[in-house]
Amino acid sequence: MADSHKFEAEVSEVLRLVVNSLYTHADVFLRELVSNASDALDKLRFESIETPSLRSSDDPLKIRLIPDPDKGTLTISDNGIGMSEEELRQHLGTIARSGTKEFVQKMQEAQKAQAEGVQLIGQFGVGFYSSFLVADSVEVVSRRAGSSVSYRWCSDGQDGYTMESAESDQSGTQITLHMKEDKKEYLEPHRLRALVTKFSDYLGHPIELVDQKDGAPVSEVINQGSALWQRSPSEVTDEQYEEFYKHLSHDWESALQHKHFKVEGTQMFAGLVFLPKRAPFDLFNGESKHGVRLHVKRVFVMDNCEELLPRWLRFVRGVVDSEDLPLNVSREMLQDSRIVKTIRKQVVNHSLAMMESLAEEDATAYKGFWTTFGAVLKEGLHFKAEEADRIAKLLRYETSDGDGITSLADYVSRMKEGQNCIYYAAGTSAEQLANSPHLEAIRERDYEVLFMTDPVDPFAVQSLPEFDGKPLVSVMSEDLKLGDSDADDKKDDEKDDEKDSDKDDESEILLSRVKSVLSEKVSEVRVSKRLRKSPLCLVLPEGGMEPHIERLLREQQLGLPAAKRILELNSDHAVMKSLRKLLIADSSEDTVTSLIEVLYDQALIAEGSPVDDPTKFAQQLTDLVTGAAGAALAGD
């Protein structure tokens, strides 16, 4: 007797979506089932390296398509790894795959928005459940390699499935689809051939079509049956690359770019890397899997082989097939293998080349790539990748010119006569940075400023002291040079020295008073050259950290650098002149202290930082306004 089981709620939801939304894209069912069969063959081939008894050598690995027009069924069979009873339940009765969960979410959004969702749908892959696009009921008979018992899983795709023991003469899986009345076209051999050519020709396993000719079954291999990456690039169509990418990555969108390479010499290997369009949901989660799939002499060895790609390229998908590694290669062996180091270098090289050609060929597509993955690529700078020079050329930033994003090379080509540095401002948004007091004198000279708004930027830029011989300089750095040359900066200093000494004394009074009021908050107070309209600003001591980064670290409790910042005053500003007068007139201690504190808080607000004590700030401001209003009235 068969046991009945209910589907997990999410499975029912997927089935409902599949049947209601994908029905015009029923073709995809074959791609999904053949792709699963191929994975099952790969897994068996790999496990049988360790346990040869899992596989009988006279039974070549293959996938068979068996249409039976009399019964109205199509069977997709493989002699791969198979599934145990528990695995049938797990894999076909619940949603184990995060990609499918994501799909459900996307579909719900698309339906809610009534958007061009239906157009998108054709691109989604929903795995095994796509069987129900063409079948009224589905029967799966499977036997795990190495086991002697088989099980049958049956479902009509409504709300549950049944399980019972079954008979089968070999390990592997047979999926029999009882075709819907209006889907019988898929039983026609020419239709199956066309679909295999369209969707599954990248596979390295033979796909046999078993056709009834004059009552006797005739089988014929209908695909190329050679691993796609082993073919010559000139023999592979874009469509085949696309289908292979989807198979490899479980992505439903096509890749932005790919690079196919073969290395022949003292070492031999083939590789194929892809640049996805879409970020995986766990891109910034410390544990996110990365690396490319490793094959040895065509045999699948492992997914996500970390040794073949650095973390800063964790968005790259691909496959490598080595002729030199042993088939039973272990993780430990990979870690200090010279062969692996050589391969890794090439995978990195071709991954970067892929981005370089995308940047060159299609600026819009590159911008999309950059928005999605730029922050990850920048980690390569922070971790001192050997390829830092190539990464630097791939960087893009918004700038004070406000016209899209720019490369460093383009920035340099626009540098003004006499401008020696590449200026950048780091903060939380371009809007906030555009109004930053730190930019005033720079903007006056019409110099462009890069806006670095990614939290990783201040760390990455520390490893990028210069580009094309031009130093990268933060507009917040303490020794900001603005002059057309160092000599000019010195001239500025000399001019200051010539100013009459009375005024110097007055400045001194102001500086030392501000310093004593704010001694808890700032390390130094000095006269600024970078300000025009604003009365004061805070700058970074050497090696200091931008305030928004400091906040971020504090929020994540990653420990705080203790460095206080430097306060710069605009001595030409009216408010500074008034303060000086108040000090000379020896006005009330409290008023001056309060004014200085309010000005300090105002500098924080202007740079986009929160004030330390908002209640106190509001009270002090209210008092000041009250005083000013009173004075204005008294003056009338």
CB closer to ligand ADP out of 36 and 419: 36
Burial class, 452, CB count within 10 angstroms (exposed 0-12 / middle 13-18 / buried 19+): buried
428 binds Mg ion (CB under 5 A): no
Footprint on residues 299-358 left by Mg ion (CB under 5 A): none
Footprint on residues 10-69 left by Mg ion (CB under 5 A): 36
CB closer to ligand ADP out of 34 and 308: 34
* Residue 37 interacts with, from ligand ADP, Mg ion, none (CB under 5-8 Å by kind): ligand ADP
- Minimum Å distance from CB 193 to ligand ADP? 21
* Residue 173 interacts with, from Mg ion, ligand ADP, none (CB under 5-8 Å by kind): ligand ADP
* Residue 78 interacts with, from ligand ADP, Mg ion, none (CB under 5-8 Å by kind): ligand ADP
Strands 216-221 and 317-322: unpaired
Binding site for ligand ADP (CB under 6 A): 32, 36-37, 40, 78, 80-83, 91, 97, 127-128, 173, 250
CB closer to Mg ion out of 244 and 397: 244
426 three-state secondary structure: strand
DSSP state of 540: B
* Residue 91 interacts with, from ligand ADP, Mg ion, none (CB under 5-8 Å by kind): ligand ADP
CB closer to ligand ADP out of 41 and 348: 41
582 three-state secondary structure: helix
CB closer to Mg ion out of 219 and 254: 254
- Minimum Å distance from CB 43 to ligand ADP? 7
Footprint on residues 74-133 left by Mg ion (CB under 5 A): 127
- Minimum Å distance from CB 3 to ligand ADP? 19
110 three-state secondary structure: helix
Token pair for 501: 């000494």
CB closer to ligand ADP out of 75 and 162: 75
* Residue 244 interacts with, from ligand ADP, Mg ion, none (CB under 5-8 Å by kind): none
* Residue 250 interacts with, from ligand ADP, Mg ion, none (CB under 5-8 Å by kind): ligand ADP
Nearest partner of 309 among 286, 331, 293, judged by Cα:
293
The number of beta carbons lying within 10 Å of the beta carbon of residue 206 is 18
Instruction: Return the H-helix or E-strand segment holding 160.
Output: strand 160-166
- Minimum Å distance from CB 131 to ligand ADP? 9
* Residue 312 interacts with, from ligand ADP, Mg ion, none (CB under 5-8 Å by kind): none
* Residue 438 interacts with, from ligand ADP, Mg ion, none (CB under 5-8 Å by kind): none
- Minimum Å distance from CB 78 to ligand ADP? 5
CB closer to Mg ion out of 127 and 310: 127
Give the start-end residues of each E strand in 180-242.
207-213, 216-221
How many angstroms separate the CA atoms of 468 and 474, rounded?
Answer: 17
- Minimum Å distance from CB 84 to ligand ADP? 10
- Minimum Å distance from CB 127 to Mg ion? 4
Kindly give the residue spans of alpha helices, DSSP state H, lying in 250-362.
Answer: 331-335, 338-361
- Minimum Å distance from CB 142 to ligand ADP? 7
CB closer to Mg ion out of 92 and 475: 92
Query: How many whole angstroms from its chain centre is CA 193?
Result: 37
Count of residues interacting with Mg ion (CB under 5 A): 2
- Minimum Å distance from CB 113 to ligand ADP? 26
How many angstroms separate the CA atoms of 107 and 14, rounded?
Answer: 9
Token pair for 180: 């819907």
* DSSP conformation letters of 441-508: HHHHTT--EEEE-STTHHHHHHT--EETTEEEEETTBTT---SSSHHHHHHHHHHHHHS-HHHHHHHH
In this structure, the dihedral spanned by the alpha carbons of residues 235, 241, 247 and 248, taken in order and rounded to 10 degrees, is: 100
Token pair for 523: 């390390």
Place of tokens 């040794």: 307
* Residue 351 interacts with, from Mg ion, ligand ADP, none (CB under 5-8 Å by kind): none
Angle, to 10 degrees, between the axis of helix 189-199 and the axis of helix 28-50?
70
The number of beta carbons lying within 10 Å of the beta carbon of residue 539 is 23
In this structure, the dihedral spanned by the alpha carbons of residues 406, 407, 411 and 412, taken in order and rounded to 10 degrees, is: -170
CB closer to ligand ADP out of 35 and 399: 35
* Residue 573 interacts with, from Mg ion, ligand ADP, none (CB under 5-8 Å by kind): none
| Interacting residues toward Mg ion by CB under 5 A | 36, 127
